[in-house]
């Protein structure tokens, strides 16, 4: 049980760090296209991503909205092996 508890603590820490970075980036980040945020954004549930994109658009302006906030990026289908895309 001690090993499982440690593993769950590490997973929880990683989740808190990733969520904390996303929250920091959305509220105070200076670059509109942060590489780490661009990696995190597609993994987020749609309501969180939409909230973040709305906050960024209001703070940075619509012309500087991150690429992961564009309607095309949000509506594009996930790549499949059949389409030649990497998973």
Position 52 in a domain: yes
What pLDDT sits at residue 12?
A: 96
Tell me which residue range forms the domain holding 37. 22-75
Specify the number of domains making up the chain: 1
Task: Look at phi and psi of residue 84 and say left if phi exceeds 0, alpha if psi is from -120 to 50, else beta.
Answer: left
Position 5 in a domain: no
What pLDDT sits at residue 61?
A: 75
Position 67 in a domain: yes
pLDDT averaged over consecutive 10-residue blocks of the chain (87 residues)? 88 94 90 85 88 86 73 54 58
What pLDDT sits at residue 35?
A: 87
What pLDDT sits at residue 13?
A: 97
What pLDDT sits at residue 2?
A: 81
Position 57 in a domain: yes
pTM of the model: 0.68
What pLDDT sits at residue 33?
A: 78
């Amino acid at each position: 049980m001690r090993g499982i508890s440690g593993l769950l603590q590490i997973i929880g820490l990683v989740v808190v760090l990733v969520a904390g970075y996303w929250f920091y980036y959305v509220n105070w980040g200076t670059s509109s296209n942060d590489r780490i945020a661009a990696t995190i954004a597609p993994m987020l549930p749609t309501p969180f991503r939409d909230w973040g994109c709305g906050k960024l658009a209001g703070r940075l302006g619509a012309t500087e909205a991150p690429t992961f906030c564009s309607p095309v990026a949000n509506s594009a289908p996930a790549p499949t092996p059949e389409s030649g895309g990497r998973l």
